[in-house]
Structure 1
Amino acid sequence: MSRYKCIIFDCDGVLVDSEPLGNQVLVDLANKLGANITLDYAFKNFKGNSLQNCVAQIANLIDTEVPTNFIDQYRKLSYEKFKNEIKPVEGVFDVVSNLKIPFCVASSGPETKIKLNLKLTGLLPYFEKNIFSCYTIQKWKPDPAIFLWAAKAMGFQPTECLVIEDSIIGVNAAVSGGFDVFGFTAHDYNDELKDKATNTFGEMLILPKLIDSKS
């Protein structure tokens, strides 16, 4: 039996396969401003960051000002893309439907985005009452505040929780908050999670066995 009493999932890239979609929209908008970046660049530099940080990075790549409506444009276009193309991470339904301990989602995205993507992928019923957004507390990873808030709200100490993350920023946030963290490496483009995470795994379906092995 696992020693963990609660699982805290990141959302993008862990529960829903939204990273390629959202990053492509960022790339397209940035390139219209002259950034001349690729999707690979976005994966390596934007993954796990707050949208504000991504916009700041884009500002350093262009010769003009980032439009004041850039984030609004991004939200509109990305939500449209999510509605048409988003899918759950393979195997995640089997994982969450069979977990025997409490679990929740803690994400850097707005709560509206988290709920939309969970609804579109059929995952919302599993998380509806346990959704934690960085926008609510106005603190973003690598600050561990989102994970500390989620743990406290769920009724557990950090040492009783396991965080599931797919970005180095998220892993660092969890570690600095005193959590064990498993890095999901399906899209670990920089091969950087293994040196920081408590454990790593590349297929969602093996997560339950890894959890149970930590007794």
Structure 2
Amino acid sequence: MSKYKCVIFDCDGVLVDSEVIGNQVLVDMANEYGANINIEYAFNHFKGSYIDACVEKIKKLVAHPIKDGFIDEYRHRSYEAFKENIKPVKGVKYVLDNLDLPFCVASSGPEEKIKLNLGLTNLLSYFEGKIFSCYAIQKWKPEPDVFLWASEIMGFKPEECLVIEDSISGVKAAKAGGFDVFGYTEHDYKNELQALAARTFNSMEQLLKMI
């Protein structure tokens, strides 16, 4: 029997395989301003963050001012790219079908993005009424607020919940809120999550046994 009563999933990179897609769009747009970065840079500096913080980092890399409409353009381009290429994380549907605990999603992305990507990957029905976006409370990871909000609404204490994350900021946010957190390491190219998360795994096939 699991010691946990609820599982809180991050979205990007945990439920949907969106990290490469979204970060490549951001890399392309930054390079249009002369940033000269690649996808590895994006994973090291943008992954798990929210777009406003990413733009502030890009501003320090380029000589010309970033246009006011940069974020709106990013949303448009990335949403189109998601529609073309996004897939569910391999094995996650099996996890959701067989997870015998309440669960929800808590993400740094805006709710419209969460719903778009869950819908495109046929996962939205699992999370109706259980979507928690940092934008709704204007608090972003590594602050723990979105996880604390999610656990409260779901009806559980932090110590009763398990968070599944794939980013350093997400793991730090969960730990700051008093949650156990497992790190999904498919895109953890520098093996950074192992030192932070309670446990790590690189395949969704492992997760149910761990819980």
Normalised by the length of structure 2, the TM-score is: 0.99
Deviations 1:116-136 (A, max 9, x none): 000000000001110000000
Q: Kindly indicate whether the alpha-carbon contact (under 8 Å) linking 1:44 and 1:189 is maintained by their aligned counterparts in 2.
A: no
Deviation at 1:37, TM superposition (A): 0.3
Equivalent position amino acid for 1:146 in 2: V
Alignment of 1:165-176 (within 5 A): 165-176=165-176
The aligned residue for residue 187 of structure 2 is 187
Deviation at 1:63, TM superposition (A): 0.7
d(CA) in 2 for partners of 1:40, 1:173: 23
SS at match of 1:105: strand
d(CA) in 1 for partners of 2:109, 2:48: 10
Deviation at 1:190, TM superposition (A): 2.3
d(CA) in 1 for partners of 2:128, 2:63: 43
The aligned residue for residue 11 of structure 1 is 11
The aligned residue for residue 60 of structure 2 is 60
Deviation at 1:110, TM superposition (A): 0.3
Deviations 1:26-49 (A, max 9, x none): 000000001000011101111111
Alignment of 1:113-132 (within 5 A): 113-132=113-132
Deviations 1:70-124 (A, max 9, x none): 0000000000000010000000000001111100000000000000000000000
Give me the CA root mean square deviation: 0.5
The aligned residue for residue 21 of structure 1 is 21
Residue 103 (1) aligns with residue 103 (2): yes
Unaligned runs of 5+ in 1: none
Unaligned runs of 5+ in 2: none
d(CA) in 2 for partners of 1:116, 1:163: 22
The aligned residue for residue 91 of structure 1 is 91
d(CA) in 2 for partners of 1:71, 1:186: 27
d(CA) in 2 for partners of 1:17, 1:189: 15
The aligned residue for residue 135 of structure 1 is 135
The aligned residue for residue 112 of structure 2 is 112
d(CA) in 1 for partners of 2:164, 2:190: 18
Deviations 1:159-203 (A, max 9, x none): 000000000110000001000000000100221100010100000
Deviating beyond 3 angstroms after TM superposition, the runs of 4 or more aligned structure 1 residues are: none
d(CA) in 2 for partners of 1:63, 1:137: 33
The aligned residue for residue 42 of structure 2 is 42
Deviations 1:9-30 (A, max 9, x none): 0000000000000000000000
Deviation at 1:50, TM superposition (A): 1.1
d(CA) in 1 for partners of 2:128, 2:64: 41
Deviation at 1:204, TM superposition (A): 0.7
d(CA) in 2 for partners of 1:190, 1:137: 31
SS at match of 1:205: helix
The aligned residue for residue 33 of structure 2 is 33
SS at match of 2:80: helix
The aligned residue for residue 162 of structure 1 is 162
